Amino acid sequence: MKYMQTGGFEHHPLMRRTILWVLVFLAGLWATNLCMYFARMGLNPSSVQAYYLGSEQDFRPPRSAASMLEVTHAHLPIMGLTMLLLTHLAIFAPYTDRAKKFLISGGFATTLAQEASGWLVRFVHPGFAWLKVVSFLCFQTVLLGLIASVAFFLLARPKHKRHSGAI
């Protein structure tokens, strides 16, 4: 844990390996999120409205509050922890404070907007469909940026040949 607190994780080969493997899984999350979104809707607000409000043409009922609650219940802690991990690691990267603040705020804000926008479309007003599209694109961009920046930081840093010490 001390490596995560002080930022020395990038010099410990086992921590580097662990984090790089986590990034592989998170890249999978990014890719599957992209696929799942486009399997259900597109980048036009009308497709978002049809997904959440239902479509008589496609014989699709509106999304129920219970099904949306189940998805939100799983997404909030997982995405919160994902953003915590990635933004925490990005803090130690040699980026400007402005870039770090953007990554942190962008990561959490787009995650929250992504989760909230479906609820807004379904239960507040169909006009929020544009927010779903924009928040999806921004979330995917920020998530990919966080994954790539942490990977670049770990891969670009000089590796120590030997490391003595325990985690």
φ/ψ of 143, rounded to 5, equals: -60, -45
Q: Where are the domains of the chain?
A: 2-156
78 in Cβ contact with 26 (< 8 Å): no
Amino acid 15: pLDDT: 87
- Residue 163's pLDDT is what? 46
Given a cut of 70, whether residue 96 has pLDDT beyond it is yes
Summarised one tens digit per residue, pLDDT across range 3-34 is: 445 556 656 788 889 999 999 999 999 999 99
Q: Residue 114 is which amino acid? A: Q
Confidence of residue 55 (pLDDT cuts 50, 70, 90): confident
CA gap 152, 65 in Å, rounded: 41
The model's confidence at residue 58, banded by pLDDT at 50, 70 and 90, is: confident
Tell me which of 116 and 93 has the higher pLDDT: 116
Q: Is residue 129 predicted with pLDDT exceeding 80?
A: yes
Using the predicted structure, report yes or no on whether residue 46 has a pLDDT greater than 60: yes
pLDDT score of 6:
55
Half-sphere exposure of 76 (CA within 13 A, CB side): 7
Helix, strand, or coil (residue 58):
coil
Per-residue pLDDT, 167: 43
- State the pLDDT at residue 115: 96
Collapsing DSSP to helix, strand or coil, 60 comes out as strand
For residue 80, the model assigns a pLDDT of: 95
Dist. CA 54–CA 119, nearest whole Å? 14
Task: Tell me which of 130 and 14 has the higher pLDDT.
Answer: 130
